[in-house]
């Protein structure tokens, strides 16, 4: 079991989740980014100790704006955030979150947050003045201002092609196309 697995288990326990949502194997199979905050000065460990982590990634979401209109977007999402219980309320969470915001070049109100705990909502309210949420039907939370500068953190989705008649694609079609090119 890796340090990432251990921290994922601790995060799940802290959030009362039935299973971890962050693990080394999941990190290998998706395109999420894991920011890890380390204390390199821990005596006796040789390698230092992990203080906490923040996992972010782009997700395709259908979200409602203040007027109830549906929007298909792909924003940067906060997927998991954990600071070891013994080190909370020491400024490490803010340090880690601020580093992610700078690295990703995004403002806090432009993020979508997956199933935020009450602790995370309080953290965002205290440090980033994110108070007004826009209710969603999925498990994500977005904040007032999410749609203000949507172009910055949101990947543009390609427009859907017009629906055409589905044409059969036989083996002879494939062979012909290979020979032609």
CB distance 175 to 181 below 8 Å: no
Distances (CA, A) of 138 to 62, 112, 121, 141: 8, 11, 17, 8
Known binding residues: 81-94, 117-126
**Feature table: binding site for acetyl-CoA:** 81-94, 117-126
Distance separating alpha carbons of residues 116 and 20, to the nearest angstrom? 15
């Amino acid at each position: 079991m890796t340090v990432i697995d251990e921290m994922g288990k601790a995060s799940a326990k802290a959030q009362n989740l039935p299973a971890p949502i962050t693990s080394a194997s999941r990190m290998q199979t998706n395109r999420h980014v894991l920011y890890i905050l380390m204390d390199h000065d821990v005596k006796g460990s040789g390698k230092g100790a992990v203080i906490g982590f923040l996992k972010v990634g782009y997700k395709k979401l259908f979200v409602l704006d203040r007027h109830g209109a549906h929007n298909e977007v792909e924003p940067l999402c906060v997927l998991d955030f954990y600071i070891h219980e013994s080190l909370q309320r020491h400024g490490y969470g803010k340090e880690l979150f601020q580093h992610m915001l700078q690295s990703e070049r995004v403002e806090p109100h432009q993020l979508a947050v997956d199933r935020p705990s009450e602790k995370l909502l309080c953290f965002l309210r205290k440090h980033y003045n994110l108070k007004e949420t826009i209710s969603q039907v999925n498990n994500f939370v977005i904040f007032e201002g999410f749609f203000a500068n949507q172009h910055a953190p949101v990947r543009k989705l390609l427009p859907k092609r017009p629906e055409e008649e589905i044409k059969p694609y036989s083996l002879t079609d494939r062979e012909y196309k290979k020979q032609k090119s």
